[in-house]
Amino acid sequence: MKLIRYEKNPILSPNPANEWESLVTTNPGAWYDQKSGKVLMLYRAAGNDPEHVIRLGLAVSDNGYDFERVGDEPVFGPSKDGFDAGCVEDPRIIKIGEYYYVTYATRYFHPGQYWLEGGPYSPPQSPDDFPLVIRENATSTGLAITKDFKNWIRAGRMTNPLIDDRDVILFPEKINGKYALLHRPMSWVGDEYGTEHPAMWVSFSDDMLVWGQSRLLATGVEDWERKIGGNTPPIKTRHGWLTTYHAVGRDNYYRLGAMLLDINEPWKVTHRTKEWILEPQEDYETQGCYEGGGVVFPCGKVIIGDTLFVYYGAADKYVGLAVCKTDELLDYLLSCPVK
C-alpha cells in the first residue's frame, strides 16, 4: 500500500518576492478546522542569507489541496535572545479547547547553509567547558501556544537542554490523566537504552513542560530503517492511535512508514507497516537543500471525509501532498500486527 502524490505537487514552493521564504518552504504542520472547513498549514521558511534564519509562515486551504499564503510576513520566528534564538522549524500542531499547541525544533544559534560545500555557517565560538550540545549547536524543542496564529505565548523549552532531542509531537488529548508525547533523543542509544540507533520514545507530563516516565516505543527494524522518528501528531481511530514516522536508511533517504498505537497504552505499537508507504522519487523530493539524498518528511496530516491528507517536506525545500483512503491505510496496518 502506497500513498498517492497530488498531481499538482509541490503545493508550496519558495517565493522570491519575500526574502524570508525565497529559498525554502518545507516541513509543514497542519490542522483541519471542521467548523470552517479550512486546513491551516504552518511551514518552515528561509531565505538565502548565510545564517539561514528559519521562521514559520502560514497558509490556508478550503479543500486541503490548494493553499494560499496568509500575508507576506512570517507569523512566528526566533526570539531575540532566548533558548530559541537560533531558529524555529518543523512545527507540529494540535488543538485543545480554544488553543493551538505548536511544538517546534530550535537551536542555540542559526544553522547556517548546511547543504553547501565547506560546511555550515560557523556560530559564535563557545568555551570548551560549555555543554557539548551548545558547542555543537544541537537541537531542542519549544512549545508555542496561540488562538489565532498572530499572538503567541512562548511557553518554554519542552526537552532537556543537555540532550539533542527533536521530532517532539504531542498527542491531541490526555491519556490516563497525563499529557503524552513522542520524541527522539539522539543520545539515548546503547545497551542501556535498548536501541543501536536513535529511536522513537513516548513520555508523559502533568503540565506539558516537565516530562518523564519515558518508554522506548519503536526502533528501526526493516532494511529501509535505521534511525527513525515520529513526524505527525497521532489521530485517534477505532483501531488505535494512527501515526506516521520517518526512517533513514543506509542510503540516507528519508522514507515514510505508519503505525498504530494502543489507545490506552500508547507505548505499545500494535501494528506497523513492513514496507515504506512513501519514498523520495520526484525531482522536488531529491533535489533541494538536503545533501544526503532524497527526503519526504511530514509534520502534519489531517482526515477530511474518508481521505487522509499527508503534508510533507520535500528535499528540505518544498511542500508536497500525498493522500490515501483512511480505511485503506488502516486495513493495511491491521494486516501487519506487531508480534
Question: Looking at residue 124, what is its pLDDT?
Answer: 65
Q: Which CATH superfamily is domain 4-334 in?
A: Glycosyl hydrolase domain; family 43 (2.115.10.20)
| Res. 120: pLDDT tops 60 | no
Q: For 255-306, how does the pLDDT look when each residue is reduced to its tens digit (9 = 90+)?
A: 999 999 999 999 999 999 999 999 999 999 999 887 677 999 999 999 999 9
Residue 240 has pLDDT above 90, yes or no: yes
**What is the full DSSP assignment across 255-268?**
EEEEEEE-SS-TT-
Residue 186 clears pLDDT 60, i.e. is over it: yes
> What does the pLDDT read at residue 137?
86
At residue 17 the predicted structure's pLDDT band, cuts being 50, 70 and 90, is: very high
Q: Residue 131's pLDDT band (boundaries 50, 70, 90)?
A: confident
C-alpha to C-alpha distance for 124 and 251, rounded to whole angstroms? 32
What per-residue confidence (pLDDT) applies to 128?
81
Handedness of CA 316, 321, 326, 332 (dihedral sign): negative
For the chain, the structural domain boundaries read 4-334
Residue range 99-119: average pLDDT? Answer: 87
* pLDDT tens-digit map of 55-97: 999 999 999 999 999 999 999 999 998 999 999 999 999 999 9
DSSP structure string for 177-244: TBEEEEEEETT--BTTTTBSS--EEEEEESSSSSEEEEEEEE---STT-SEEEE-S--EEETTEEEEE
User: Which residues make beta-bridge pairs with 184?
Assistant: 166
Mean pLDDT of 41-62: 96
